[in-house]
Structure 1
Amino acid sequence: MQGYESKEALIAEIRKTARLFAAEFDDVAEADADSTVEGVDRTPREMLAYQLGWMGLLRGWDADELAGKDVAMPAPGCKWNQMGVLYQGFYDEHRAEPFEHLRRSFEDDVDALVQWVDGFSDEELFEPGGRAWARSTPSNWPVWKWIHTNTVAPFKTFRSKIRKWKKLRG
């Protein structure tokens, strides 16, 4: 997994990969946003909803911890072995939203995520145990790894998915 030498480097990579991912949707029409193609497991709308869902979960875990609440991971009523249910919740939440609005929501959420990341000290971000919720993995991941795994990595992976979707769609 890619590492980062600083908070600024992580933020730069989030912005870069998010910008590239978002640009892939520039030529996807509203009428096509829910279209499926053989060989691609999500529609364009679902790809964006997935990203919005994970960015919201990350910030929500942290907000709950800072508020002294119990942190439900990955989400209230959902276990790690129920990811399909979690993802369906992301899709359902954004199903009726106009596609252009969903795209703007993605950009707004990236900005909010970057502001959130910028609020961490280097110790909180890069040292294991920086947040209690981040210690939930057996390997005691630092916060940056949770952020990377749920933003930068899928931004890159989903770029290839949307490109494949567009190619197969014709």
Structure 2
Amino acid sequence: MQTYADKDALISEIRKRAGLFINEFMDISEIEKDTYKPNVDRTPAQMIAYQLGWLHLIQSWENDNKNGITVVTPSPNYKWNNLGGLYQEFYRTYSEYTLEELVNQFHNEVNSIIQLIEVLDDAVLFESNQRQWASSTPSKWPVWKWIHINTVAPFKTFRTKIRKWKKTEIEEHM
């Protein structure tokens, strides 16, 4: 796993990976956004919904923690052994949005997570046991690692998935 020397490096990597990921959706039509393809486990809309769900969760954990609310990760309704259920909730939450609206929300959530990083001091961001929510699992990861695992890492993974989805689209029309 990548580590970061400072906030700027983390922010730069998030911007880079978010841009590469979301730009893949510019040539997908509204009609196709909910289409499954062979060997790709999510639709384009679900791929963005997954990202939106995690971006929102991280920010809600931090907001609740700052307000003295005990955070249950990943969510009060879902345990770590039921992430599939959590993902289904993400898909339902964002299912009525157009692709353009999803892309716009993605940009807004990425900007919000970057603003969060900018206001956190280095100790909170890079040291373990600084936030209840980040220390709520046996891993006791620092906040930056939670952010990386739920932004940069899936942006890269899902960019591969959407490219595979698009390649399948091209092969179907040949």
TM-score (norm. length: structure 1): 0.98
1:124-143 residue CA offsets vs partner (Å, 9 max, x unmatched):
00011121111123231110
Residue by residue over 1:42-76, the C-alpha shift from the partner in whole angstroms, topping out at 9 and shown as x without a partner, is 00000000000000000101111110112121112
**Corresponding residue of 1:86:** 86
Q: Please tell me whether residue 39 in structure 1 is matched to residue 50 in structure 2.
A: no
Residue number in structure 2 paired with 1:117: 117
> Which shifted more, 74-83 or 151-160?
74-83
The residue that corresponds to 1:54 in the other structure is: 54
Residues 14 and 151 in structure 2, CA contact (< 8 A), matched pair in contact too: yes
Task: Report the alpha carbon displacement of residue 18 of structure 1 after superposing the two structures with TM.
Answer: 0.3
| TM-score normalised by the chain length of structure 2 | 0.96
Q: Which runs of 5+ in 2 are unaligned?
A: none
Query: Secondary structure at 1:83's aligned position in 2?
Result: helix
| Matching residue of 1:136 | 136
CA distance in 1, matches of 2:92, 2:132: 30
Question: What corresponds to 1:5 in structure 2?
Answer: 5
Matches of 1:83 and 1:139, distance apart in 2: 17
List runs of 5+ in structure 1 lacking aligned partners: none
TM-superposed CA distance for 1:110, in Å, is 0.5
CA distance in 1, matches of 2:89, 2:10: 28
75-84 vs 153-162, which moves further = 75-84
**2:46·2:91 contact (CA, 8 Å) conserved in 1?**
yes
2:15 is matched by which residue type in structure 1?
R
Partners of 2:82 and 2:132 in 1: CA distance: 22
Task: Output the CA distance in 2 between the equivalents of 1:32 and 1:78.
Answer: 30
Q: Distance in 1 between matches of 2:72 and 2:138?
A: 17
Q: Secondary structure in 1 aligned to 2:80?
A: coil
Runs of 4+ in 1 over 4 A off after TM superposition: none
Q: CA RMSD in A?
A: 0.7
The residue identity in structure 2 corresponding to 1:93 is T
The correspondence of residues 137-156 of structure 1 with structure 2, limited to 5 A, is 137-156=137-156
Q: Secondary structure at the match of 1:134?
A: coil
8 A contact 2:55–2:113 mirrored in 1: yes
User: Residue 133 of structure 1 aligns to a residue in which SS?
Assistant: coil
